[in-house]
Amino acid sequence: MPQTEVKKDTVKVKNQQAVTQPASPWKDAWRNFKKNKIAVTGTIIVLIFTIMAIFAPWLTPYSHSSGQLVDRLQPPSSDHWLGTDDFGRDILSRIIHGARISLTGGFAAVFGSIIVGSLLGVIAAYYGRWVDTLISRIFDVLLAFPSILLAIAIVTILEPTLQNALIAIAIINVPNFGRLIRSRVLSVKEEEFITAARAVGMNDRRILFKHIIPNSITPVVVQGTLAIATAIIEIAALSFLGLGTQPPKVDWGMMLSESQQYIVSAPWTMIFPGLAIMLTVLGFNLMGDGLRDALDPKMKS
Amino acid sequence: MLLRLLEATEGTISFENQEVQNLSDVEMKKLRREMQLIFQDPLASLNPRQTVEKILEEPLIVHKIGDKKERRQMVKEILEVVGLDEYHAKRYPHQFSGGQRQRIGIARALMTRPKLIIADEPVSALDVSIQSQVLNLLKDLQEKFNLTYIFIAHDLGVVRHISDRVGVMYLGRLVELTDVDELYDNPLHPYTKALLSSVPIPDPELEVEDEDVIGGEIPSPSNPPKGCAFHTRCPFAMDVCKEVRPAFEEKESGHYVACHLYE
């Protein structure tokens, strides 16, 4: 690059442009995202909960699994900021530990469904014909069930553990991602640059991985962020029904379920886990909306 | 069809004495190195998530030409050839103007040093001022790399400027084929005559004479009229035109035409 700078005076203007870093589509998106205050707020909420989850053992003032029965059902105080539950366990500590399961569970379930859903969606869209028909009908069948009922059914068949709850949530989310990426790939593969790739002589695999998938994943990123929010609710719901997390592990849904009887006498046992769920879900939703705006293809060029 | 992006339904297509439609995938890939494509819409034909460098390098990777360092060097060279600067390599297609994008498209077509380039209306998406730049670039490259172009266009000025031989098509069939000067001076087919007379003359004083302008709508290309496809709009249509499709024959030396008027 330095050689061109000395060559001519006329290229001076061009060289000034050269100094500014060329923006990749992802960098462009990041710049748009930063401008969106609501989305940034959502991201901060998500980050706070993530940090809580990662450093849970160092952040919690009390044990999350054992408590002092003498201190049972204490209202919030300076000792127990968010009060205690029916076993005298500190609610703040339990919420912090619960964040681990909710967040990792949410990520894991969504990650699993993205992988499986994208794979099926790409195969369906790219190869078409009977493959497409078969995969699309499977998606239709899965979508025909109310998703939480399907999850409950899967967990009861498999045996109620956290792992199975995550598998169930992953399965019920697969058709959403599958359909999303299928429609994306269907439109991207008609684009002219795919024809160009074929004219160059590329094989299917290279076209798929270098051209079609990179141009199809943005909606999946957005949908994935939003799906984590729903997955967290679903994990909480399954745990609430006793089909997810098992003691001594703790989960926000399980906390809600345990506090049912005390809703009137000790409302803090229910309010705070509920708030935690609500805030996390809100955070992910705001972040997802922001991502969608930032990655919107119409914002390009 | 020559590139086998669409399969031929009938007939034969040959390139350097090989019948393209019967080649195996491996042979076809070899052949693709020899012939490349330039597209009408330069933005749509470039992957928006790849830098120019990656776009240009890819044909080389696919055809296993050179190592990474050599490939980068070739990308630099080709950018210079098509009139772009080296630092453009790190940019994305949406950061360029239409003319620059088409230069990238041309550069990509040149990467494998092909013998034949099929240009599908390469300048119709560009401004008139940019069109001439790109056309002149194509002409220079033709000399430099000893290229053959199959140049598809509807702008008759562009065609006259760049072509050696011109084929006129109507509803998917060649109706006339001859040298560029012969075609413009002595068009035989009524459709070619009408086409040439429809070129706007840049003189506002001139009165419009619409004797030669043909009326009517273009019939559906998927269901063209029987006989000569042009008979529905042809001012010289005869009875035979409605029944028999005229043969595509050499009527004068090097001048092919498909029309009953010259039988």
Contact predicate A256/A274, CB 8 Å: yes
Contact predicate B84/B107, CB 8 Å: yes
CB pairs under 8 A between A and B: 80
Least Cα separation, residue B108 to chain A (angstroms) = 9
* Domain ranges across chain B: 14-163, 181-199+221-262
> What is the pLDDT confidence band of residue A11, given thresholds at 50, 70 and 90?
very low
Greater pLDDT, A116 or A260:
A116
B90 contacts on A by Cβ (under 8 Å): 22
Contact predicate A5/A15, CB 8 Å: yes
How many other CB atoms are there within 10 angstroms of residue B150's CB atom? 13
What is the pLDDT, as a whole number, of residue A241? 85
> What is the pLDDT confidence band of residue A8, given thresholds at 50, 70 and 90?
very low
3-state DSSP call for residue A82? Answer: coil
Q: Say which of B28, B49, B87 has its CB closest to residue A214.
A: B49
Secondary structure letter of residue A244 according to DSSP: S
Least Cα separation, residue B7 to chain A (angstroms) = 13
Residues 6+ apart with CB under 8 A from B228: B234, B237, B241, B242, B244, B245, B246, B258, B259, B260
Percentage of chain A lying above the pLDDT 90 cut = 4
Q: Say which of B63, B85, B90 has its CB closest to residue A22.
A: B90
**Integer Cα distance of A182 and A127 in angstroms:** 11
Is A35's pLDDT higher than 50?
yes
Interface probe with A: pick from B4, B31, B49, most Cβ of A within 10 Å: B49
**Integer Cα distance of A126 and A278 in angstroms:** 39
Least Cα separation, residue A187 to chain B (angstroms) = 13
Contact predicate B180/B163, CB 8 Å: yes
**Integer Cα distance of B45 and B64 in angstroms:** 22
B92 contacts on A by Cβ (under 8 Å): 22-25
How many other CB atoms are there within 10 angstroms of residue B200's CB atom? 9
Greater pLDDT, A295 or B2:
A295
> What is the pLDDT confidence band of residue A111, given thresholds at 50, 70 and 90?
very high
User: Side-chain half-sphere of B185: how many Cα atoms within 13 Å?
Assistant: 6
Is A69's pLDDT higher than 50?
yes
Contact predicate A287/A42, CB 8 Å: yes
Angle at B36 between CA B35 and CA B42, to 5 degrees: 165
The model carries a pTM of 0.70
Residues 6+ apart with CB under 8 A from A184: A125, A215, A216, A219, A220
> What is the pLDDT confidence band of residue A113, given thresholds at 50, 70 and 90?
very high
Is A142's pLDDT higher than 80?
yes
For chain A, the average pLDDT equals 80
Digit-by-digit pLDDT tens for chain B (263 residues) are 556 566 666 666 777 667 777 777 777 777 788 888 888 887 888 888 888 888 888 888 888 877 788 888 888 888 888 888 878 778 888 888 888 888 888 888 888 888 888 888 878 777 888 888 888 888 888 888 888 888 888 888 888 888 888 888 888 778 888 888 888 888 888 888 888 877 776 666 766 555 556 666 777 777 777 778 888 788 777 778 887 888 787 877 778 888 887 76
* Closest residue in B to A204 (Cα–Cα): B62
Greater pLDDT, A278 or B248:
A278
* Closest residue in B to A194 (Cα–Cα): B45
Q: Say which of B41, B62, B90 has its CB closest to residue A200.
A: B62
A211 contacts on B by Cβ (under 8 Å): 47
Element (H, E) at A94: helix A91-127
The residues pairing with B179 across neighbouring beta strands, listed in sequence order, are B165
* Closest residue in A to B117 (Cα–Cα): A199
User: Side-chain half-sphere of A192: how many Cα atoms within 13 Å?
Assistant: 13
Is A298's pLDDT higher than 70?
no
**Integer Cα distance of B10 and A295 in angstroms:** 46
Question: If DSSP states are collapsed to H, E and C, what string results for B183-223?
Answer: HHHCCCCHHHHHHHHCCCCCCCCCCCCCCCCCCCCCCCCCC
Per-residue tokens: A146: 């109310």
Which residue, among A291, A286, A218, has the nearest Cα to A33 in the 3D structure?
A: A291
User: Looking at the predicted complex, does its ipTM rise above 0.85?
Assistant: no
Name residues 246-285 of chain A within 8 A of B (Cβ). none
Contact predicate B207/B220, CB 8 Å: no
* Closest residue in B to A14 (Cα–Cα): B85
Q: Say which of A18, A22, A193 has its CB closest to residue B47.
A: A193
Which residue, among A300, A273, A286, has the nearest Cα to A94 in the 3D structure?
A: A273
Question: If DSSP states are collapsed to H, E and C, what string results for chain B?
Answer: CCCCCCCCCCCCCEECCEEHHHCCHHHHHHHHHHEEEECCCCCCCCCCCCCHHHHHHHHHHHCCCCCHHHHHHHHHHHHHHCCCCHHHHHCCHHHCCHHHHHHHHHHHHHCCCCCEEEEECCCCCCCHHHHHHHHHHHHHHHHHHCCEEEEECCCHHHHHHHCCEEEEEECCEEEEEEEHHHHHHCCCCHHHHHHHHCCCCCCCCCCCCCCCCCCCCCCCCCCCCCCCCCCCCCCCCCHHHHHCCCCCEEEECCEEECCHHHC
What is the pLDDT, as a whole number, of residue A232? 86
Name residues 160-199 of chain A within 8 A of B (Cβ). 191-193, 195-199
A25 contacts on B by Cβ (under 8 Å): 48-49, 92
What is the pLDDT, as a whole number, of residue A23? 62
B94 contacts on A by Cβ (under 8 Å): 300-301
pLDDT digits (tens, 9 = 90+) for B85-120: 878 778 888 888 888 888 888 888 888 888 888 888
Residues 6+ apart with CB under 8 A from B111: B56, B57, B59, B60, B74, B75, B78
What is the pLDDT, as a whole number, of residue B207? 62
Is A22's pLDDT higher than 60?
no
A23 contacts on B by Cβ (under 8 Å): 92, 95
Which alpha helices (H) appear in A128-210, and where do they start and end? Answer: 129-144, 147-158, 162-188, 192-200, 204-206
Least Cα separation, residue B158 to chain A (angstroms) = 23
Q: Say which of A4, A25, A210 has its CB closest to residue B48.
A: A25
pLDDT digits (tens, 9 = 90+) for A223-274: 888 888 888 888 888 888 888 777 777 888 888 888 888 878 888 888 888 8
A196 contacts on B by Cβ (under 8 Å): 37, 39, 45-46, 108
What is the pLDDT, as a whole number, of residue A197? 83
User: Side-chain half-sphere of B233: how many Cα atoms within 13 Å?
Assistant: 21
> What is the pLDDT confidence band of residue A300, given thresholds at 50, 70 and 90?
very low
State whether B62 and A211 contact (CB < 8 Å).
no
Per-residue tokens: B88: 């453009």
A206 contacts on B by Cβ (under 8 Å): 62
Q: Which domains does chain A have, with CATH numbers?
A: 37-58+83-299 (1.10.3720.10)
What is the pLDDT, as a whole number, of residue A137? 92
**Integer Cα distance of A115 and A96 in angstroms:** 29
What is the pLDDT, as a whole number, of residue B65? 78
What is the pLDDT, as a whole number, of residue B144? 83
**Integer Cα distance of A203 and B25 in angstroms:** 10
Backbone torsions φ then ψ of A203, nearest 5 degrees: -85, 170
Interface probe with B: pick from A1, A17, A193, most Cβ of B within 10 Å: A193
Per-residue tokens: A20: 């500014």
Cα separations in angstroms, A115 against A17, A20, A220, B8, B73: 40, 37, 10, 38, 38
Interface of B with A (CB under 8 A): 3, 5, 28-29, 32-33, 36-37, 39, 41, 43-51, 58-59, 62-63, 85-87, 90-92, 94-95, 108, 112
Considering the four listed CATH numbers 3.40.50.800, 3.40.50.2300, 3.40.50.300, 3.40.50.1260, the one that applies to the domain covering B14-163 is 3.40.50.300
**Integer Cα distance of B48 and A298 in angstroms:** 13
* Closest residue in B to A191 (Cα–Cα): B44
**Integer Cα distance of B95 and A250 in angstroms:** 51
State whether A200 and B5 contact (CB < 8 Å).
no
Interface probe with A: pick from B4, B39, B45, most Cβ of A within 10 Å: B45
Greater pLDDT, B42 or A134:
A134
Which of A69-83, A196-210, B89-103 is predicted with the least confidence, judged by mean pLDDT? A69-83
Greater pLDDT, A1 or B131:
B131
The residues pairing with B150 across neighbouring beta strands, listed in sequence order, are B118
